[in-house]
Structure 1
Amino acid sequence: MRILCECGEFIKGKTFKDFIETSSNPSTSTIGHRSCGLIFNFVDGNLPKRFSSKKELKAIAVNLAKMEKLNYADTEKLLIEVDRIKSMGELTDGEILNEAFRKIKY
């Protein structure tokens, strides 16, 4: 699963380890994003939620395509799926990108 940070970057490999207070433990191990410093609270389900414009979302989708080494045809399909899913409702950017990627790969 790819995690899209609130700053608009995927956190793949760009993390640091930290400990935070959560509802289950006063010192819970977690990760943070090196580029912007955001710390994720996976225990309480507080994942980053980003809602971009279609233009911004397509730019992020192109970065995803490069990261996943998609060919031009699959990149085109990804952009079409992103546009279609974005038009359907109020999903977060991460949900849209993961769903679009899943649809073109499977």
Structure 2
Amino acid sequence: MRIATYNIEWFANLFGDDNTLLIDNKWSSRYKITRARQIEAIAMVLTTIDADVILVVEAPNTGNHQSSKAALEHFAHRFDLRTNKALEGFASETHQEITLLY
């Protein structure tokens, strides 16, 4: 069994209030990286490591409009990841959510 952790910097900012990906050429919160390019890179990493369980640190936020679980499951289905179910483990007011993909 492969278990991985992945701290995905500014991951929450790649999702809209409806938990869908913002795949466009606007700048992400990463320096000189578009949202589309950052999303593509994240998908490539998650596909390549092909873990059975992935603990995502800085997962999408859960709050008034977003759901970490819904956003990660949407991402997983969009990129056909084996780990396509999510379980919220730690919600944080500082937007440092920890969510498990399995």
Provide the TM-score with structure 2 as the length reference.
0.36
Q: Please give the TM-score of this superposition, normalised by the length of structure 1.
A: 0.35
Asked which structure has the greater RCO (Cα within 8 Å, sep 6+), the reply is 2
Which has more strand, going by share of residues? 2
Which protein shows a greater Rg? 1
